[in-house]
A and B are shown apart, each in its own frame.
Chain A
């Protein structure tokens, strides 16, 4: 069960389009094919050449035997000729003492000569050496050498091996050479058969000298297929061994492959011309054609090893290539799951390295952006809350209502009415149906009402001016961005100043943007305070709670980088705050409630 699960897991992990699988498969297939093909071609080529050489070699060996045997046979022919000449020349064959001596000398020269004898055509012995008495019942006229000599009177005849049974000596296996000759007996010309018997000594020697491997050998047959000589002649005679002679008879020269014994044997044939014999060389393919087996064995081993090496190298290389990619994939997966803290592995191939570097950069950027978004979102939420708070600033309301009460007690009805009216307008615009964005007109209206209330509250301690350039009123702005600045100007600029205060609020176009400016002639700020102010270090306690930094944040959050607050301030001279905004026009501008162009005293 365990292993089936393991296999299942392995198969699940196995994917045909995996880089490792692709690389491994393709390159292994190609290299193995190439190696196999090359090996196969080499094997064929080499074995072919080796086999051709083997055949050539075999042919040469047999050629050599053939040459030796031809020499031997023609030597024997010469001796036969000598014997024939002596017999024919003798003036009277029976009465020539020198003839016997000459023939005996001839016989003595060669150990492979058994006997020389002349018979009449009736089979009577005329002369012979050695001078053994004849046996009875030789039946020589029926023997093949005698018959063929009579049948072919001209040619020298070679008999197949037979037992020499003519003389009272050993029975020996011989080959007989015979010919019909003429001789003189009692001064009369006679015909007779001259026979010369040869034993197998020299033939055996010549054939044994050949080396055709451990098992190979040479045998000789005559023209009709009788075995003349065979190294295992006795076995063949005893019927214990069989030589497939039939196909050999079809050849005079040449070679073929015989497989009748179950083994491949290379048969090479040459003809010994004088005797009409055929020399047959038998070589065993397994001995003679060893190249095929050896080379085959070697190539087989080589192939296996090569394939093993290719496999290992391949797996290694493909793993080298695909591992980093897979690691990269795993890292990306982690990122996908939301873990942006993951650092992607950098390493492996150049491309992968580059890829993971870029990916890392991208990841860092995403991380930064995400952090930024989080921060911005938080700030936005906070500032929105602040705005919301400012819309119902209880402190401001309390102070205003307090002063209204006081005015009412004093009976300054007109002022009470103005204050209440402005307060209601102020709040109406503050709420403005929950919109963030209002027209500059509304914003200026809003600040005007605020200023009205404040001038009443501060008993005309300062004057103010609101002025809008042509066309600016219909532009859109973030709401409640002027009020904190004006509040600041009152509380920090004018309230602390002994002189009569002035606050100017202006809207104008500058270059490609809209500018809302709040100016005062209050105590101004030092560079230091200015810096603190911008970084949010100072926060008014009495004010609406919506600080300058809040305005700055809101503007830059909402409109982006170049927009925001710009301060100009000189101690004892006053402060000017410019709010840079993009020019965005309202779609359906209202033409009501034009703000006053000039100054207005509360």
Chain B
């Protein structure tokens, strides 16, 4: 009986203490209190509207998924050696995931393979990299984008014409694919000759100079295509300065505001617009999923659109072309 009385007392004491423990329990287990995930995003360049918009998308995703985002890039888009170094540094930091926009398809392959030793998942964005360790690729179907540009240029110039290409980085997967798509489409028309292909290394100034040289060398040029934002800006400037606006058919890539102005001024006739915001956003969300060990599709494609003067002010295109800045 004595034992019975003691246990009864113990239980009563427990009952008194219970409200305290119960009221404490629900706190401190919300998902908000988790340690933020660290994601390194290594891109080709930290300047330019294209990369800024990617960064915006990435940061929105980072906020949403509680990610500490480390956005890093070499100064120059074709400096793949610096990018390899950045990758190596990043592997040492051991983030939860890495998002990589590779400047060079081949050169970045080895360092990307090495991430698997450190057990860091890698998501490839914007342009692919020669590594099987990549969990997924988020970005434009570049080959298709190149074809879209070619299709519109052919419509504008006709089937008997001379055209030139201002590309950006030779060896970068996206540049190569766009060029390939473009050339493959144009090859269907025997009357069309591609007279020149230049690489500006994503340098606006170089693109401007290269374009001037092309235009001076080929005065009868009917069409010009520039395959990146920077090469488009340079090419656009050259065309305006040479007073060829309107007569030379110019197809640009991406949507820096300068190009949109030129589109409205009818110097640029059409532009292939990627969705950099979505690229950035979806790359980070894919990286979060990869870090959690979820399975991902091999490719997460984002759309490209061909924008011209007629459709640039359509509400949905306004939303695509102009980042919403408050």
Chain A interface (Cβ within 8 Å of chain B)?
135-139, 142-143, 160, 162-163, 165, 168, 170-173, 199-201, 204, 214, 232-235, 237-240, 293-294, 297-298, 300-302, 305-306, 308-309, 312-313, 316, 319-320
Contact = CB atoms under 8 A, between A and B. Distances in A.
B275 A238 contact: yes
Contacts of B25: 297, 301
A137 B18 contact: no
24 contacts: A135-B264, A137-B309, A163-B322, A165-B264, A171-B261, A171-B322, A173-B325, A232-B60, A234-B277, A237-B324, A238-B57, A239-B278, A293-B26, A294-B26, A297-B22, A302-B22, A305-B15, A305-B18, A308-B11, A309-B11, A309-B12, A312-B7, A313-B11, A316-B8
B315 interface: yes
Contacts of B14: 305, 309
B7 to A, nearest CB: 7
A538 B282 CA distance: 128
Contacts of A232: 60
A302 B32 CA distance: 27
8 nearest CB pairs, A to B: A237-B319, A301-B22, A200-B326, A234-B324, A204-B326, A305-B18, A298-B22, A233-B324
B318 interface: yes
Contacts of B325: 172-173
Contacts of B32: 214
Nearest to A293: B26
Interface range on chain B (Cβ under 8 Å from partner):
35 or more
B281 interface: yes
B19 interface: yes
A162 B318 contact: yes
Nearest to A234: B324
Nearest to A236: B319
Nearest to B32: A214
Interface in B253-275: 257, 260-261, 264-266, 275
B60 A297 contact: no
Best-surrounded residue of B60, B261, B266, B313 (most CB of chain A within 10 A): B313
B19 A170 contact: no
Contact of B26 (A200, A237, A297, A305): A297
Nearest to A161: B324
B23 interface: yes
A349 to B, nearest CB: 13
A201 B326 CA distance: 6
Contact of B19 (A204, A298, A309): A298
Contacts of B220: none
Contacts of A199: 326
Contacts of B48: none
B320 A306 contact: no
Contacts of A309: 11-12, 14-15
A584 to B, nearest CB: 61
Contacts of B320: 237-238
Given A136-B265, A165-B313, A294-B26, A240 B8 contact: no
A135 B265 contact: yes
B4 interface: yes
A530 B141 CA distance: 142
A301 to B, nearest CB: 4
A173 B21 CA distance: 53
B36 interface: no
Given A165-B313, A294-B26, 17 more contacts: A142-B313, A162-B313, A201-B326, A234-B56, A234-B57, A234-B323, A234-B324, A237-B320, A237-B324, A239-B278, A240-B278, A297-B22, A297-B26, A302-B18, A309-B14, A312-B11, A313-B11
A357 to B, nearest CB: 20
A207 to B, nearest CB: 10
A236 B106 CA distance: 36
A306 B261 contact: no
A238 B1 CA distance: 74
A572 to B, nearest CB: 75
A226 to B, nearest CB: 8
A325 to B, nearest CB: 15
A316 B4 contact: yes
Nearest to A230: B324
Contacts of A239: 278
Nearest to A233: B324
Given A163-B322, A234-B277, A238-B319, A171 B257 contact: yes
Contacts of B11: 308-309, 312-313
A163 B318 contact: yes
Nearest to A286: B30
Contacts of A143: 313
B4 A319 contact: yes
A567 to B, nearest CB: 62
A139 B313 contact: yes
